[in-house]
Amino acid sequence: MNFKSIILTVFLASCVLGQQPSRDVSKETARSSQDWIRDAVIYQIWQRAYSQKGDFNSITADLDRLKTLGVDVLWLMPVHPIGQLKKKGTIGSPYAVQDYYGVNPDYGTPADLKRLVAEAHKRGLKVIIDIVANHTAWDNKLIMSNPEFYKKGEKGEIVPPVADWADVAGLDYSKRAVRKYMIENLKSWVRDYDLDGFRCDVALMIPTDFWEEARAEVDKIKPNTIWLAEAEKPDLLVKAFDLDYGWEFHHAMDKAIHGTAPASAVRKVWEDQRAVFPKNAIRMRFSDNHDERRAIARFGEKGALAAQALMFTMDGVPLVFNGMEVGDTTESGWPALFEKMPIFWDTKARRPEFPRFYKEMIALRKSSMALRRGELTWLRNSDENRVLTFSRKSGNEELLVAINMTNAPFFGSVETAGNYEEITPYYGEPMPPDDAKAQKAAQPNVGLPTLHLDGFKFRIFRRK
């Protein structure tokens, strides 16, 4: 997407949502964030699906595994009671909040949540929760106590923020009282539960100046938290948020793997967005989340690994959606937001490459300053319709990454010079250590600048 298309998209979305379009912040600098944020791997948890019990205590019991996996920030999807009036599905959407101060009893007690946070902190893990500030459930007590908080239709009736979202009612941020209520609520979660920040649902539908005020107020209670915007609106990253969603990058990657756009479209989106976002902006990179069909369902097993390899090696902060690390999916391919469908953790038995891939790729990222904070430079190759090649450089460390976005083998060249050694993590079928080393040594490696990649494979090299 070119510069004009990006600005037009933001402007049209703003008009539909009743907000001002994002101002030009391309010459401004993004909010200064802590180094641990740039170094992080975010792990999204849907507590209803995480275990058979679907509760906080099951997550607490699994913290050692998550620590060993190498993730840093645990993002809990909304922890609040779920509205039942006009609900979707059997259980309802977690994004239809019935009580902003409440904890869903299906997940446990407030004490259980506090214990989860405290135990995560003992292991050096951060915990954030999902905040749904744009709308409430229809049986949220605010509708009865403060109907003036809500958006109204032509006849004065409370309306959804978007017509298709019939299970929720839109809040009106032109009202100062709404802003004050929500800021006090955010402060209470940090103060009472010692949370480390928030993931803010549909952040672009709420005025940027609200988020800037809210961030400043919460920082007085606990500075150095992490705020993630579910949005792609550049001005949110100047003062309010540490990072946002790389939605257009995700969509370009999706099209490239499906063959409806060339691999070079991924690079094009990256370049266009860099031109309009503030300098040093941090983007969250993802191949799977609760809003998308599961990556395996969309791309197949090999394609899902190639997509996530791109997220682990790109600039920004990568996301892992719970279950990805064992190759979990569903019969329909969609995560269950409105029903109970626990993750099938035993998929390790039939997809053994997935646990190894995630553990080894996260470990590689942790060991490499270039992957975590290095400058990204795109490199030309002999078939840019199918293959992405780029370098990541920090100080004396320089890595070269090559990813085949198609299922056909690639034999070609990369425009680079110098001596490289391959450091691609091995994640094939289980085998004895000696055999694994032999298998890796036998992988085709004709040396750069010539390169071989099997379908949906990636390779990583370090310059000597």
Instruction: Spell out the residues 6+ positions from residue 47 whose beta carbon is closer than 8 angstroms to its own.
Output: 54, 55, 56, 59, 76, 77, 79, 107
Instruction: Name which CATH class applies to 3-367.
Output: alpha beta
Whether 412 contacts 450, CB under 8 Å: yes
- Cβ neighbours for 45, distance < 8 A, ≥ 6 positions apart: 59, 74, 75, 76, 77, 322
Inter-helix orientation angle 176-193/110-122, to 10°:
60
Per-domain residue ranges of the chain? 3-367, 378-463
Give the DSSP H/E element, type plus range, for residue 41. Answer: none
The owner of tokens 């922890």 is 79
From the first residue on, what is the mean pLDDT of each consecutive set of 10 residues in the chain (464 residues)? 34 41 91 97 98 98 98 98 97 98 98 98 98 98 98 97 96 98 98 98 98 98 97 98 98 98 98 98 98 94 97 98 94 90 82 94 98 98 98 98 98 93 72 44 57 96 94
Bridging pattern class, strands 458-463 and 420-422: antiparallel
Query: Phi/psi class of residue 224: alpha, beta or left (left: φ > 0; alpha: ψ in -120 to 50)?
Result: left
Tokens of 373: 């904070």
What's the CA gap between 135 and 164, in Å, rounded? 13
Those residues with Cβ within 8 angstroms of residue 12's Cβ, 6 or more apart along the chain or in another chain: none
pLDDT of the residue at 347? 65
Q: What is the DSSP letter of 230?
A: S
Residue given tokens 């860099």 in the structure block: 274
Instruction: Report the 10 Å Cβ neighbour count for 335.
Output: 23
Residues 6 or more apart in contact with residue 311 via CB below 8 angstroms: 285, 286, 287, 318, 319
Which CATH architecture describes the domain 378-463?
Sandwich (2.60)
* Residue 9: predicted pLDDT: 35
